[in-house]
Amino acid sequence: MFLYETHMHTSTVSACAISTPAEQVFAYKKKGYTGVIITDHFINGNAHNTGRMPWADKMRFFISGYEKAVAAGKNCNLDVFLGWEYTIGGHDFLTYGLDMQFLLAHPSVAAMEIKQYSALVRKNGGYLAQAHPYRQGFWINDPRPVDPKFLDGVEVHNNQMPDSVNRKAYTFAQKHNLPMQAGSDSHDAEQRYFSGIKLREKAKTIHDIIKALKANESELIIPS
């Protein structure tokens, strides 16, 4: 089996993260992971402030954590894939399968609502999963999942959430027959527990991971 992290942050881009891309990559390598998806907060979420930079410069900054992780991954033979955590009304959405070309071509993407964002992501071959859908916080407008028709999957286990929140997410995904995934939501390479998914075959691209998720061919990694 091949182990993959689906939800993690780097201090280069995510304002809430502690560890650098290299520190994160080496930690996962030590834990026996095959690859990781870097999901730094997008610039409409808890990312370092990019101010009045031109859009292209904002995007170059945004993928810099991923690029540093790729370089570290080459040094220790760990695969690194690009994703991001997109925020709408306090809700977070893990987005996979898109690239820098997509970001540069859509300078209005940071201001979209879920219906528009979901349609754009899917039109361009991307995948959208709601992260920790029942998380509560003063910054969250409505601590419930969005309409399932806008989602390709659901994060049913998040290491940073209490069991009660994860159970609700699992029930929601099960009710609506949505693919399930687990993630560490790692901000610190020194965290005690790691999560993610297991695949039977090694992923060559992020789209191999997306295909396995959609086909329910992945196994959840949930710390006991």
* 175, 190 contact by CB (below 8 A): no
Over residues 121-139, mean pLDDT: 92
- CA 136 to CA 143: how far, in whole Å? 5
User: Is the backbone of residue 180 left (phi > 0), alpha (psi -120 to 50) or beta?
Assistant: beta
Mean pLDDT of 55-80: 98
Is residue 201 predicted with pLDDT exceeding 90?
yes
Mean pLDDT, the chain, whole residue set? 96
pLDDT for residue 168: 97
pLDDT digits (tens, 9 = 90+) for 174-190: 999 999 999 999 999 99
Give yes or no for a contact between 125 and 97, defined as CB atoms under 8 angstroms apart: yes
Beta bridge partners of 95: 84, 128
Mean pLDDT of 44-67: 96
Q: Nearest-CA neighbor of 219 among 157, 166, 167, 150? A: 157
pTM check: above 0.85: yes
Q: What is the CA radius of gyration of the chain?
A: 16
| Total domains, the chain | 1
- Residue 139, pLDDT score: 67
pLDDT band at 224 (very low <50, low <70, confident <90, very high): confident
52, with CB counted inside 10 A (0-12, 13-18, 19+), is: exposed
**Which range of residues forms the domain containing residue 207?**
2-221
Mean of pLDDT values over 203-222: 98
pLDDT number for residue 89: 87
156 beta partners: none
Task: Give mean pLDDT, residues 9-29.
Answer: 98
- Residue 123 structure tokens: 């039109």
**Which pLDDT tens digit goes with each residue over 85-104?**
999 988 999 999 999 999 99
Q: Supply the pLDDT for residue 144.
A: 81
Cβ neighbours around 147 below 10 Å, total: 10
Strand, helix or coil at 34? coil
Q: How confident is the model at residue 138 (pLDDT cuts 50, 70, 90)?
A: confident
Query: What is the C-alpha to C-alpha distance for residues 194 and 123, in angstroms, rounded to an integer?
Result: 32
* CATH code for the domain in which residue 125 is found: 3.20.20.140
**Whole-number Å distance between alpha carbons of 12 and 9:** 9
90 to each of 114, 133, 175, how far by Cα in Å? 12, 10, 23
CA–CA distance, 1 with 198 (Å, rounded to integer): 6
* Percent of the chain predicted with pLDDT > 90: 93
